[in-house]
Amino acid sequence: MPQLDTATFLPQLYWLAVCFVVLYWIITRMALPRIAGVLQRRHDRIANDLETVENLRDEAKAVLADYESKMEKAQSQAQAILAKAAEESVRRAAKCEAEISSRLSKELAETEKRVLAAKNKALGEIDQAAGKLAKAVAEKLVGGRVDGKLVQQALELDSAGRK
């Protein structure tokens, strides 16, 4: 094997060193700066993205806090509106109840008056009919004419006893 030949060790070591130095120079002057630049750009982009994420997170927290405060304000306003509406409904219901109660009281009073008038009229008609009947019965029993005033006085005495 030619690699193990001791006569060629020195030239092989020389070319190994030359190739190593050339490759080392190429890598350090060309490849490593490019790789370092790519890594630096990646690092900068990641740092920029993290900063942007932090800013967006802070902004989102601010928006969320604003949203929650507006929701609390809206809920308190809604509660106030509902309380006012409930109060208004109770007030209107009380007013309607008072109006209906007043109207029913008036109608009840008018109806009582009409019933009393009808009762009095009916009693008057009953008294007249009773008077005519009593006069007719008395005339049949007596066999002649009976004075209507006497029959009326008798009925009045009887009704005074009933009252």
| Domain extent at residue 137 | 18-162
* Residue recorded with tokens 């219901």: 93
**Residue 8 placed within a domain:** no
Q: Which residues of the chain have pLDDT under 70?
A: 1-3, 157-163
**What domain count does the chain have?**
1
- Which of 157, 154, 122 lies closest to 135 in space, CA to CA? 154
What's the gap between Cα 69 and its chain centre? 20
| pLDDT at residue number 158 | 64
User: pTM to 2 decimals?
Assistant: 0.44
Residue 11 is assigned to a structural domain of this protein:
no
Measured distance CA(90)–CA(120) in Å, rounded: 44
Question: How many Å apart are CA 34 and CA 44, to the nearest integer?
Answer: 15
Assigned domain for 28 exists: yes
82 falls within a domain? yes
Task: Write down the pLDDT at residue 160.
Answer: 61
Amino acid 60: pLDDT: 97
Question: Helix, strand, coil: what percent of the chain each, to 5?
Answer: 95, 0, 5
Within-domain flag for 4: no
**Contact between residue 131 and residue 148 where contact means Cβ atoms under 8 Å apart:** yes
pLDDT in tens, 50-80: 999 999 999 999 999 999 999 999 999 999 9
pLDDT for 2: 67
Q: Is residue 7 part of a domain?
A: no
Tell me, yes or no, whether 13 lies in a domain: no
- Whether residue 77 is contained in a domain is answered as yes
In terms of residues, how long is the chain?
Answer: 163
